[in-house]
Chains A and B, each alone.
Chain A
Amino acid sequence: MIERARIEALEERARQIRRDVVEMVYRTGDGHPSPSMSAADMIAALYFDVMRLDPANPSWEGRDRFVLSKGHACPAMYAALCGRGYFPREELFTLRFLHTRLQGHPYAPKTPGLDATTGSLGNGVSVGLGMALAARIKKLDYRVYVITGDGELGEGLIWEAAMCAGHQKAANLTVFVDNNNYQSGGTVGEVSGVYPIAEKWRDFGWHVQEIDGHDMGQILQAVENAQRENERPSAIVAKTVKGKGVSFMIGDNSWHKRVYTDKEYEIAMRELGGAR
């Protein structure tokens, strides 16, 4: 049983990440808000509870690693890195501006605390698997967490990596599928033939769980279950809502990439428990 206080603290972290996403997109005039919202709870759980990190020593060899395969959701990850103290808050609002350390899609050499360069979809499971296998070779006990979108499961490379990780018994690799059911052109069901998702990972030899990706208790429990696996990598298929937390973003896929007006900004921040 996971304590209520632990869950509530993480829920507040997730709300702060969402507020930061709204503020970043509003103030910088660019970015992908609603894909950031669907992943925010998982990112909060990973950065503020699950992962073994030392923000004072970002390149610590023994740290857990995170790979945001759906790199366009990086505003949420940048908010989490900032929340862990990797860089000052004001830097969030340099997103996508010339010479920023916060590139439009994640670039590890520039951003403190960022483990993986991503952005081109479908690559994150492979990159994460490489990190996971490196732990085995270097006899380190760190774990690797990846978040992929559901639309990017259309990339063949995802399944090359899934097959390989199952075969390699990469038990220190955990992949969340942010199953918000939307991709750029519409719902995942309409655009691609990705469903059923859980069965595919299972067929490649993965330990698979299906959860509500906005239920912090379920996220933490799923991670703990994954950590108990000794042989199989873990896939956590998380049902999520694109735009979660802001009413007018839900069900309106134009928020995949869209900037808030003053009015929308005010409403969004109010709904997220921010400025009134």
Chain B
Amino acid sequence: MSDQYDSTRVGFRDGLVALAEKRDDIVFVSTDSLKVVKGEPFAARWPERVIEVGIAEQNGVALAAGLASAGLRPYLCTYAGFLTMRACEQMRTFVGYPKANVRFVGVNAGLFGGNREGVSHQFIEDIGILRAIPGFTILCPADGGQTKQAVLASADIEGPVYIRIGSGREERVFPEGTPFEIGKIRVMRSYGDDVALFCHGFVTNRVLAAAEELRRSGVGATVVEVATIKPLDAAGIAEVLGRCRCAVTVEDHNVIGGLGSAISEVIAEGEGGAAGARLVRLGLQDCYGESGFPDELLDAYGMSVADIAAAAARARAGRP
């Protein structure tokens, strides 16, 4: 892996190592996924705290529920969809329902995460699935450093946590060491109240670029990172919507069930001046992706910088 990336997978691994140095309840459950996240340094230091179950996600999740019931804090990291789809019921009935302290880290999220692997390894439904299951904290860090911070912050959350990460080829978004605050939106740019741009994950730099482009054309955008999808900072989002009155959501996920849906709900419920705000949702338009290079895929599926700027114009045109 080259240094040009700020790998979320390595971020996860480094976060886990940092946690395990401080506490003895951290366990890594591998579904033949230890090498996927370059977990060898963890396994070398704490071999007794690695449980390898093989390619068997349902077993990994239900087993992790058993570990958690005995007071451990297992982290299970593998492909996002093999967790949230193949082992969905185990996540719901054996982890979510009894509020077990299991932490899930889903790799290859979105088209960007799955890229050339194609649809079987591109997961665009995970957030929607987990939003519908009570009790999960859902975190979507934007880069490797943020992933590490999210892992550190996740340790003390009561109940299950899902952290959505990528392939290991992510761009840096935040300076190293930037904290990850669970449950709060982060305003990244305040160029004006002409339009709000909400996003999370590996599209963030594109959204920032679109905000610059809009600014050059005289449109002041507010860029908001929503890295905690659940519990959603509805008050913070409503405050931004109350000021801007129109918004674009950008997410590498189906537009159904993810950030776009979550913000639609805030608008529909009309808290804090959000009522009636105009929204345009970018993301997968209820379709599957295909193989391709990561950036190429985001461009092809409507998440280019130009698409974001154009969506902002549509949102502004429909502003109440």
Q: Are B62 and A157 interface neighbours, CB within 8 A?
A: yes
Question: Which residues of A are found within 8 Å of B51, using beta-carbon distances?
Answer: 133, 168
Chain B, range 44-71, C-beta contacts under 8 Å to A: 48-49, 51, 53-54, 56, 58-59, 62-71
Nearest A residue to B53 via CB reads: A164
Residues 70-81 of B, flagged 1 when their CB comes within 8 A of A and 0 if not, give 111010000000
Judging by beta carbons under 8 Å apart, are A123 and B67 in contact?
Answer: no
Residues A164 and B56 in contact in the complex (CB < 8 Å), given A109-B99, A127-B94, A138-B71: yes
Most chain B CB neighbours (cut-off 10 Å) among A127, A133, A163: A127
A residues in contact with B56, CB < 8 Å: 160, 163-164
- Asked if B62 contacts A127 (CB within 8 A), the reply is yes
Task: Give chain A residues whose Cβ lies under 8 Å from the Cβ of B70.
Answer: 61, 65, 130-131, 134-135, 138
Asked whether A197 is an interface residue with its Cβ less than 8 Å from the other chain, the reply is no
Chain B CB within 10 Å — which of A107, A117, A156 has the most?
A117
Whole-angstrom distance between the Cβ of A59 and the nearest chain B Cβ: 9
- Per the bound structure, the CA–CA distance linking A108 and B93 in Å amounts to 11
Does the CB pair A130–B71 fall under 8 Å?
no
Q: Does B27 contact A137, Cβ atoms closer than 8 Å?
A: yes
Answer yes or no: B318 CB below 8 A from chain A CBs: no
Cβ of A161: which chain B residues have Cβ within 8 Å of it?
59, 62-63
> Which residues of A have CB within 8 Å of B94?
117, 120, 123, 127
Residues of B within 8 A of A152 (CB): none
Contact between B54 and A130, CB atoms less than 8 A apart? no
- Contact status B62-A130, CB under 8 Å: yes
B288 interfacial by beta-carbon distance below 8 Å = no
Residues of the B chain whose Cβ atoms lie less than 8 Å from the Cβ of A137? 27, 48-49, 67, 72
Knowing A120-B89, A120-B93 are in contact, say whether A130-B65 is a contact too (CB < 8 A). Answer: yes
- In the complex, which residues of chain A have a beta carbon less than 8 angstroms from the beta carbon of B67? 130-131, 133-134, 137
Cβ contact within 8 Å between B59 and A164:
yes
For the complex formed, measure the closest distance between the CB of B32 and the CB atoms of chain A, giving whole angstroms. Answer: 12
Cα-based distance from A67 to B69 in the complex (angstroms): 12
Does chain B have a CB within 8 A of A119?
A: yes
By a CB distance below 8 angstroms, the chain B residues around A138 are 70-72
Q: Which of A60-115 contact B (CB under 8 A)?
A: 61, 65, 67, 107-109, 115
- What's the nearest-Cβ distance from chain B to residue A236, in Å? 20
B7 proximity list for chain A (CB < 8 A): none
Q: A107-B98, A163-B54, A164-B56 are in contact. Are A131 and B69 (CB under 8 A)?
A: yes
- The interface residues of chain B lying within 8 Å CB-to-CB of A128 are 66
Q: Are B93 and A109 in contact (CB under 8 A)?
A: no
- Which chain A residues border B98 with CB–CB below 8 Å? 107-109, 117
Q: A129 in the interface, Cβ–Cβ < 8 Å?
A: yes
Question: A82 to B278, alpha carbons, bound, how many Å?
Answer: 58
Say yes or no: B69 contacts A160, CB within 8 Å: no
B301 within 8 A of A: no
Mask, A159-176, CB within 8 Å of B = 1, is 011011001100000000
The SS class assigned to the A binding surface is: helix
Mask: chain B, 194-213; 1 = CB below 8 Å from A; 0 = not? 00000000000000000000
B97 CB–A CB distance under 8 Å: yes
CB distance from B117 to the nearest CB of A (A): 24
Task: Report whether B97 and A117 are in contact in the complex, using a CB–CB cutoff of 8 Å.
Answer: yes
B30 CB to nearest chain A CB (Å): 11
Chain A: CB-nearest residue to B89: A120
B264 contacts chain A at the CB level, 8 A cutoff: no
Residue numbers in A under 8 Å from B72 (CB-CB): 134, 137-138
Q: Does A116 contact B (CB under 8 A)?
A: yes
Q: How far is the CA of A49 from the CA of B121 in the complex (A)?
A: 50
B161-202 near A? 1/0 per residue, CB < 8 Å = 000000000000000000000000000000000000000000
Assembly CA distance A1 to B164 (angstroms)? 57
Closest to B63 in A: A130
**Nearest-CB distance from A68 to chain B (Å)?**
13
State the CA gap A121–B66 with chains docked (Å).
Answer: 16
Whether B228 is near chain A, meaning CB under 8 Å from some CB there, is no
- Chain B contacts for A119, CB-based, 8 A: 93
Residues in chain B near residue A136, CB distance under 8 A: 48
CB atoms of A126 and B62 under 8 A apart: yes
CB contact list, A237-253 vs B, under 8 A: none
- Cβ-defined contact, A117 with B63, below 8 A: no
Is B90 in contact with chain A by the CB < 8 A criterion?
Answer: yes
Residues of B within 8 A of A156 (CB): 58
In the complex, how many angstroms separate the beta carbon of B305 from the nearest chain A beta carbon? Answer: 45
CB<8 Å pairs between A and B, sample of 25: A61-B71, A67-B66, A108-B69, A115-B69, A116-B69, A117-B98, A123-B94, A126-B58, A126-B62, A126-B63, A127-B65, A129-B63, A130-B62, A130-B68, A130-B74, A131-B66, A131-B67, A131-B70, A134-B71, A136-B48, A137-B27, A156-B58, A160-B58, A163-B54, A164-B63
Closest 9 CB pairs of A and B: A130-B66, A126-B62, A134-B70, A160-B59, A130-B63, A160-B56, A131-B66, A127-B66, A130-B67
